[in-house]
Structure 1
């Protein structure tokens, strides 16, 4: 079996049907679905929905939690149950291209059965943004992370556009932290034990992801970086990867995160975020510009503009907080 799709079911809404249908409409059936109900089933309507997917479709494994456990526990359960060569986590409400499995299979054939540990691909955002998540890496190139460090700097800040080799997760016992929204921590921990990485060179996005306001602290996205950097110190790789990890951290902090904060249209939040980012980066900026290898090599023009004109960038952001 090629891929295990993981879907956590937390609300009985139309969007769970939309997400499941996008998987069940695949043009290639070389997959399974692990559907985890992270809630108490309290009425007949919920049982009807669950029975519909449990009894009628053989490729679905259904797990019913006795109480709400949170997404992290659900994802960890799915890792243990997954039988696919690769595992893909899908957020409720997101949808995948009907040719997702077919395209993945065709792409993998290009690499002569080479074992790929992490695969990324383009996704289309909707909701707060209509941008497409793309990459500054060379598409279609297999990066050997023992010598090619660029993916550490340029891997995207979302879990949604990633496929992980299942046996790698099981071999190292990788798990999500309970009650903590640390998607990037999980990704970077896996990346630290990865030999091969590729960003697929596909003609169209393979997934549509809803970008909305989070129901938890928006500071979680940047606060996790303390844990990421400490993880690489613990495994003895920080010295070699320092520039690439710091590049990813600062890009997340002053570019991706602040771009996201602007979408909230919350003056107090914008002010707090801009002040936080300025405090974390301003004193490091000159050294970063002069000496960071990943920054000196990057083709990300917008990020360079932000770094070079950082004071003006923060002032413009602060205007939105007035």
Structure 2
């Protein structure tokens, strides 16, 4: 089994070096590294020189893709899909990552002879105690997988064959990462939650509009409508959407943006959830306290009151 690590570079060479060094230290050598230099030729000379030296040491395990002008993260990932050779693709976050040195080995050990379409890793040790989906399960027969699944892409392995077969790509020049994830999930037959972390990493402020994170959900719902399955997944999508806006989106904006942007984000969430208030208040996952924090906000405080104090 070969794992393709895709590493994006625009400005911060330190983050790229940190990421590549952690991959080089893997105790199992079943990987390739695809580095996308998206800074433009002039700005990227330091990276190009570094990669040239590393390539001599790693032989064919390291490849460099150069963009003549900055096209953005999602455009770069789409380019990488055309050249990766691995069975699985793992996309490194913007802020870089220090992958656990036993990551490839742990993946191989847990998978054994299975090859699920989508593999997720826990984000932190707190999630480990709550994780119950540790065996391969079919997504279409167990929709609760969508509810329990983290909405990020960095802590996941995507089967390359499924990406190519279904011609899945990110929407260029946007930050619609969840759109790609839930499109991929629709086509996936099976899923595995690996009960360990990939390593240490952190989020980073976007070079795109922060409100791409909310706008993408219109496309997610419409995409499921286009497949004529929106009613089959209505409960799950409404729950994920509500959780994402109240807990993930607002936390991200609060951590990386100023108060003015944060206030705009609160108003954005208020407007979007008001339109779906009927679905939210009757959602079975919220009523059953699938996420205690989210259920407490909605059932005890109310969304409006929560957003006044958040």
TM-score under structure 2 normalisation? Answer: 0.90
**How many Å apart are 1:136 and its aligned residue?**
5.3
SS of match in other structure, 2:221: helix
Q: Which residue of 2 aligns with 1:260?
A: 252
Distance 1:80 1:173 in 2: 11
Given the superposition, is the C-alpha separation of residues 293 and 13 from structure 1 closer, same or farther in structure 2, using an over 3 Å criterion? same
Q: Which residue of 2 aligns with 1:155?
A: 149
- Aligned residue pair count: 305
**How many Å apart are 1:76 and its aligned residue?**
1.3
Give unpaired runs (5+ residues) of structure 2.
none
Of stretches 276-285 and 59-68 in structure 1, the one that deviates more from structure 2 is: 276-285
Distance 2:139 2:146 in 1: 9
Distance 2:229 2:21 in 1: 42
1:192-203 aligned at under 5 Å gives the runs 192-202=186-196
Given the superposition, is the C-alpha separation of residues 257 and 4 from structure 1 closer, same or farther in structure 2, using an over 3 Å criterion? same
Would you identify which runs of 4 or more consecutive aligned residues in structure 1 move more than 4 Å?
131-137
The Cα offsets for residues 58-114 of structure 1, whole Å up to 9 and x where unpaired, read as: 2112222222222222211221212111111112522211011000001101xxx23
**How many Å apart are 1:269 and its aligned residue?**
2.0
**How many Å apart are 1:42 and its aligned residue?**
2.4
Contact 2:26 2:103 in 1 (8 A): yes
Contact 1:6 1:89 in 2 (8 A): yes
Q: Which residue of 2 aligns with 1:320?
A: none
SS of match in other structure, 1:95: strand
Given the superposition, is the C-alpha separation of residues 40 and 280 from structure 1 closer, same or farther in structure 2, using an over 3 Å criterion? closer
Which of 85, 88, 103 is the matching residue for 1:86?
88
Given the superposition, is the C-alpha separation of residues 132 and 13 from structure 1 closer, same or farther in structure 2, using an over 3 Å criterion? farther
Q: Which residue of 1 aligns with 2:231?
A: 239
Distance 1:280 1:39 in 2: 35
Give unpaired runs (5+ residues) of structure 1.
125-130, 318-322
SS of match in other structure, 1:123: coil
Distance 2:292 2:157 in 1: 28
Distance 2:138 2:122 in 1: 21
1:1-322 aligned at under 5 Å gives the runs 1-11=1-11, 13-42=13-42, 45-58=46-59, 59-92=61-94, 93-109=96-112, 113-124=113-124, 138-202=132-196, 205-264=197-256, 266-282=258-274, 284-285=276-277, 287-290=279-282, 292-308=283-299, 309=301, 310-317=303-310
SS of match in other structure, 2:4: strand
Contact 2:128 2:195 in 1 (8 A): no
Q: Which residue of 2 aligns with 1:127?
A: none
Of stretches 299-308 and 43-52 in structure 1, the one that deviates more from structure 2 is: 43-52
Contact 1:95 1:209 in 2 (8 A): yes
The RMSD of aligned alpha carbons is 2.2
**How many Å apart are 1:12 and its aligned residue?**
5.1
Distance 1:48 1:140 in 2: 42
Contact 2:242 2:280 in 1 (8 A): no
Distance 2:213 2:128 in 1: 19
**How many Å apart are 1:287 and its aligned residue?**
4.4
SS of match in other structure, 1:34: strand
